[in-house]
Amino acid sequence: MSSVPSPLALVTGGEGELARAISKQLQSDGFEVLAPGRAELDVADAASVGAYFGGRDLARLELLVNNAGVRRDRSLVRMGEGEWDEVVAVNLRGAFLCSRAVMRGFFKRRAGHIINIGSYSALSGPVGQTNYAAAKAGMIGLTKSLALEGGKYGVRANCVLPGWLETKFTADIAPEISERVRSQHSLGEFNTPDAAAQFVCFLHTRMAAVSGQVFQLDSRMGRWI
């Protein structure tokens, strides 16, 4: 008796701690997972994206997690064009290129899900993060447009803001800034990569009627607009 092939998921920025947590959770839910690092898939480079996606059989792909990201924090007046361009290229252009690479297949199969890993910075606009906040805000707009374009084909798109995670991604931030951010959380504690990964997997496997939404996974309170 032949076994049914496992569904396939792809998580970009695969060397990061959140990507590893998402990959592990997906694997425990029965997925085969591709989690390329930057050396294998440079999401900001169209040729790299084309070679990676074009060189693989992705017929079983049902989930793309656009997780690759970088920060280059600096005040706007001291920010170089290269620092702006790199952050926007990896965070926003990368999500666009990878989403475009899978969308035709998703449309053809009339199924598929794109989850963009965003940031609370898109909502709060922190000092020193004009590049990062702008890129992550763009990801929210990208998510909503993808959800509308894909809906008639049964394709979903959602954006998850995992909250401040104590990982290598934030390890360079001064402790006093970290504690100030922690004080903005009504629960006084940060989220974890494992908890965020559990939500990402739950969103994909258990919330099939949800698309075009933004999920903030911490206890910071924003004003209604």
Which positions are annotated as active-site residues?
132
State how far the Cα of 126 lies from the Cα of 148, in Å rounded to an integer: 29
DSSP-derived secondary structure letter, 173: S
Q: What Rg value do the Cα atoms of the chain yield, rounded?
A: 17
Taking the C-alpha atoms of residue 148 and residue 211, their distance in angstroms, rounded to an integer, is: 9
Report DSSP letters for 69-130, one per residue: -------GGG--HHHHHHHHIIIIIHHHHHHHHHHHHHHHHT-EEEEEE--THHHH--TT-H
Q: What are the structure tokens assigned to 154, written together?
A: 């049964």
- Kindly state the DSSP code that residue 16 receives in the 8-state scheme: S
